[in-house]
Amino acid sequence: MTHVKVITWHCDLVVSIHVVSDVHGEAAALEGAAVGSDLFVCLGDLILYLDYEDPSHGIYADLFGEEHARAYITARTDGRFEDARELSAAAWARLGIIAPHDRRSAMEGLIRKQYDAMFSAMPQPALMTYGNVDLPALWDEYRQPGHRLIDGEVVEIDGLRMGFVGGGLVSPMRTPYEIEPDVYAAKLEQLGPVDVLFTHIPPQIPELTYDVVARRFEFGCSAINSYIERTQPRFHLFGHVHQPLHRRARIGRTECINVGHFNAQKVPYVLNLDVQHG
C-alpha cells in the first residue's frame, strides 16, 4: 500500500465535490469552478495543443498557423498519424527549426506560458492529477500552495477514501504523459479499496471510449475495469474523451462518470456525497 495522504476536512453529511478535466487552456472559466463546493478536483490536461473545434487556438496554431493546425487535425481525425507527423516535420523545417532540442525549447516556451496562466487561475485548495498531455516535470514550478498533486496515492477526508491515478496509456498519439499498461495497473493496485476513484482516462468500455466528433476510440484502460470489479468503489470519475457516445456506465455497483470536456462546457461536474455512508 502506498503512503496515504490524510487531509483534515470538516464538512456536513453531504460533501459537494466539483470536478473538472480536459481544461485545455480555459483559464477564465476555471477561476470560478470551485464556487459552492466543499472540495475541488482537477483531472488534468491543462495544456491546449490543438483545438478541434477552433483550429485557430492552441500551441500548434501559435507555432505554425491555423492552416497547418487544420490539416494536422484532419490527419489525426482520419487516423493518419504518420501523415500528421510528416506535416509537423515540414512545418518545423519551414521555421528553420530542425534540431530536436530547438523544437523542444520552442514548444516548451509556449507550454510554460499556458501553465503560468492555468495555475494562476486554478482554485485553491485543489486536489490535482495529470492528464496525458501534461508535463509533470513542470508542475512543481507553477503550482500554488493550495494545490496538492496526487498520482498513485489516496487522500482520506473525514473517512472518505479517494484514489488518484493520472496520465494516459501508451498510444499512437505519443502525448507527453503516457504510461506502460503494467505500470498503470501497478498504480491502481497500490491504492487499495477506495470510495471514489479519480483517473484521467476511462475504463475500457466502448460506449465510454468512443468520441463521436473525433470518430475514434480513445484509449481506455482494462486494468481500471479489473480494479473496479474487485474493489467496487461507489464512483469512478474521469475525463479524456471529449465527446463520448455515453457519459455514464456501471461496473457492478460502481457508477463510472465522464465529468465532461471543461474547455467546451466551462462548468464543473458536481458530485454530492453522503460522507456518513462513504
Helix, strand or coil, per DSSP, at residue 163: strand
**Bridge partners (DSSP) listed for residue 14:** 274
Report the chain's mean pLDDT, rounded to a whole number: 91
Question: Average pLDDT for residues 246-264, to the nearest whole number?
Answer: 97
Assess contact for 5 and 156: CB atoms under 8 A. Answer: yes
Question: The C-alpha cell of 240 is what?
Answer: 479524456
For residue 1, pLDDT over 50 is answered with: no
Question: Which residues are registered as beta bridge partners of 17?
Answer: 39, 271
CB 203 within 8 A of CB 221: yes
pLDDT of residue 2: 44
Task: Tell me what pLDDT residue 214 has.
Answer: 80
Q: Are 243 and 213 in contact (CB under 8 A)?
A: yes
pLDDT-derived band at 14 (thresholds 50, 70, 90) equals low
Polymer length in residues for the chain: 278
Distance (Å, rounded) from C-alpha 228 to C-alpha 257? 13
State yes or no: pLDDT of 184 exceeds 70: yes
Q: Angle, to 10 degrees, between the axis of helix 81-95 and the axis of helix 66-77? A: 160
What average pLDDT does range 159-168 have in this prediction? 94
- What pLDDT band is residue 174 in, cutting at 50, 70 and 90? confident
Q: What percent of the chain lies above the pLDDT cut of 90?
A: 81
Distances (CA, A) of 178 to 200, 219, 246: 11, 11, 24
- Total-model pTM: 0.90
Question: What pLDDT score does 7 carry?
Answer: 54
Section 14-22 average pLDDT: 91
Cis peptide before 125 (omega within 30 of 0): yes
When pLDDT is averaged across residues 16-23 and rounded to a whole number, the result is 97
CA 132 to chain centre: 6
pLDDT value, residue 213: 83
According to CATH, the superfamily of the domain at 4-47+123-277 is: Metallo-dependent phosphatases (3.60.21.10)
Query: What would the mean pLDDT of 167-190 be, rounded to a whole number?
Result: 94
10-14, 18-22, 80-84, range with greatest mean pLDDT: 18-22
